[in-house]
């Protein structure tokens, strides 16, 4: 018979460890990406605000903020789970987690929630600071919350997979530099895909980051480049697929048990 009290305590203990891990270096894990996001806002809004209007009645600065929030949220959710796993593997202390009576499902849940929390914390901080710069009402809070949680969960899961696969920090950096960064920058953070040539518009529709950012932005303005329901369905599908792969890797102990 499963003792749920013990199961929950084990999950909470690992989750607490993951939360404390990024909080103890908060200037690196939170302050640095927040400053980067605000700098993007100040530079791009200064150059383009008043010269372009992406949506009717929405200034470029207002259009930019949700994209920056979501981009930072996604990047940091990925970084949290992936860096934690790689660091544990390189330092050899992953064995102390594997020796505990924690199941692979508990392992997955703890790492996933920690990734979501870090992503949300970074995104919320950028939103609060940006609100001093420009008034940004939220038209549909449910969409904002749903895409923020699901987007953070998707990238947190992808981070677990990347962390399991990578054996060194340079391999992890390759994921960040050649997968996460290009996909997030080419997802419509700084522009509407309707401003692109037809060929590149079609290419953008194969980028899952586009749907996360576009759906998230819809929650603020009630306007988007594609249907928010379609975006949610696509993001949810990607999350389910990556969750299945991640749990399978954890269950088999691939690259974790030596």
- Give helix then strand counts, H and E, for the chain: 12, 0
**Mean pLDDT, rounded, for 162-187:** 90
Count Cα atoms within 13 angstroms, Cβ side, for 224. 26
Whether residue 186 lies inside any domain: the answer is yes
pLDDT, tens digit, for every residue of 202-244?
898 999 999 999 999 999 999 988 999 999 999 999 999 999 9
Q: How many domains does the chain divide into?
A: 1
Main-chain phi, psi angles of 232, to 5 degrees = -65, -40
Task: Give the pLDDT confidence score for residue 195 in this predicted structure.
Answer: 82
Whether residue 66 lies inside any domain: the answer is yes
CA angle 149, 12, 252 (to 5 degrees): 80
**pLDDT exceeding 70 applies to what percent of the chain?**
95
Whether residue 237 lies inside any domain: the answer is yes
- Domain span at residue 239? 10-252
Whether residue 14 lies inside any domain: the answer is yes
pLDDT of residue 15 exceeding 90:
yes
More confident residue, 6 or 187: 187
pLDDT, tens digit, for every residue of 123-137?
999 999 998 888 888
pLDDT, tens digit, for every residue of 21-64?
999 999 999 999 999 999 998 888 777 665 666 777 788 888 89
pLDDT of residue 153 exceeding 60:
yes
Choose the weakest-confidence range: 30-34, 79-83, 142-146, 191-195: 191-195
Whether residue 3 lies inside any domain: the answer is no
pLDDT of residue 1 exceeding 60:
no
pLDDT confidence tier of residue 99, bands split at 50, 70 and 90: confident
How far is it, in rounded angstroms, from Cα 149 to Cα 215? 12
How far is it, in rounded angstroms, from Cα 118 to Cα 22? 8
**pLDDT exceeding 90 applies to what percent of the chain?**
59
pLDDT confidence tier of residue 258, bands split at 50, 70 and 90: low
Dihedral (Cα; 157, 70, 67, 71), 10-degree rounding: -60
Task: Give the pLDDT confidence score for residue 137 in this predicted structure.
Answer: 85
How far is it, in rounded angstroms, from Cα 47 to Cα 54? 15
Task: Give the pLDDT confidence score for residue 37 in this predicted structure.
Answer: 92
Whether residue 257 lies inside any domain: the answer is no
Task: Give the pLDDT confidence score for residue 8 in this predicted structure.
Answer: 84
pLDDT of residue 83 exceeding 90:
yes
Task: Give the pLDDT confidence score for residue 255 in this predicted structure.
Answer: 85
């Amino acid at each position: 018979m499963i003792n749920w009290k013990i199961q929950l305590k084990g999950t909470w203990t690992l989750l607490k460890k993951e939360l404390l891990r990024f909080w103890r270096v908060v200037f690196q894990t939170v302050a640095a990406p927040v400053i980067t996001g605000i700098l993007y806002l100040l530079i791009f809004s200064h150059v383009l605000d008043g010269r372009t209007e992406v949506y009717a009645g929405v200034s470029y600065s207002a259009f930019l903020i949700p994209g920056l929030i979501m981009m930072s949220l996604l990047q940091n959710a990925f970084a949290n789970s992936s860096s934690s796993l790689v660091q544990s593997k390189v330092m050899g202390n992953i064995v102390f987690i594997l020796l505990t009576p924690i199941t692979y499902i508990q392992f997955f849940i703890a790492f996933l929630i920690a990734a979501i929390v870090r992503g949300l914390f970074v995104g919320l901080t950028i939103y609060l600071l940006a609100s001093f710069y420009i008034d940004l009402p939220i038209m549909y809070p449910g969409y904002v919350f749903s895409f923020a949680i699901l987007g953070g969960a998707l990238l947190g899961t992808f981070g677990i997979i990347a962390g399991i696969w990578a054996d060194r920090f340079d391999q992890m950096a390759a994921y960040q530099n050649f997968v996460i960064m290009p996909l997030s920058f080419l997802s419509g953070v700084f522009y509407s895909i309707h401003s692109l040539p037809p060929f590149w518009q079609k290419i953008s529709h194969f980028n899952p980051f586009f749907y996360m950012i576009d759906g998230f932005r819809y929650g603020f303005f009630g306007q988007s480049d594609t249907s928010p329901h379609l975006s949610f369905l696509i993001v949810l599908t990607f999350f389910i697929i990556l969750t299945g792969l991640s749990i399978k890797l954890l269950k088999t102990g691939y690259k974790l048990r030596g």
